[in-house]
Amino acid sequence: MTTQPAEDTRVAVVVDPAQGGPGLLGNTIATIAIGLGAAAPQLGGPQLVDRAGYAVQPSATVPVPVLQADPDVLRELLARALQGDQGRIVVAFPGFARSMHDFPAYQLEFARRDLATEDLHGVGLAGPRKWVASLTGSLRLLR
């Protein structure tokens, strides 16, 4: 993702609310958020230091709405997002990832799969405001 002013960048995490309980849903959201942050560290901003001198990383420089969609909508969203230009970040959380806890094994398995046919638990997007809005504008907030 090219560095864009914060006002030109939008982020969204879209998940299937029926994938499991709150723990699984939270894990999906957290994993997608880490992927977005790894691809675009500027989404986290510079370290913050409080009056006492304690330093922490900020949570985000832009809002991160968590939206909901059923599996068919998630697959369609991913297909549309992957047609985009450079400078757009797409993070997918396929269902088979849930049972994998070794990243090298996940990389090998991922290469054997076709995301267009996979059960998706979530998708993360970061990029130009208009692009993210065009993909997520009709989706509801996760409740």
* pLDDT tens digit sequence for 24-83: 999 999 999 999 999 999 899 899 999 999 999 999 999 999 999 999 999 999 999 999
Residue 50 lies in a domain: yes
pLDDT of res. 6: 56
**What six digits make up the tokens of 92?**
């997918």
Confidence band, pLDDT 50/70/90 cuts, at residue 4: low
pLDDT band, residue 87 (cuts 50/70/90): confident
Q: Are 106 and 98 in contact (CB under 8 A)?
A: no
pLDDT tops 90 at residue 20: no
pTM of the predicted model as reported, rounded to 2 decimal places: 0.90
* Domain span at 89: 6-141
Whether 60 is covered by a domain: the verdict is yes
In-domain check, residue 49: yes
The verdict on residue 62 lying in a domain is yes
C-alpha span between 131 and 128 (Å, rounded): 5
The CATH number given to whatever domain includes residue 129 is 3.40.1490.10
Report if residue 134 sits inside a domain: yes
User: In this structure, is residue 30 part of a structural domain?
Assistant: yes
What is the residue-averaged pLDDT of the chain? 92
Q: How many domains does the chain have?
A: 1
Instruction: Say if 119 falls within a structural domain.
Output: yes
- Phi, psi of 8, rounded to the nearest 5 degrees: -95, -5
pLDDT > 70: what percent of the chain? Answer: 94
Name the token pair of 1. Answer: 């993702």
Tell me how far the alpha carbon of residue 54 is from its chain's centroid.
Answer: 29
- On whether residue 1 sits in a domain, the answer given is no
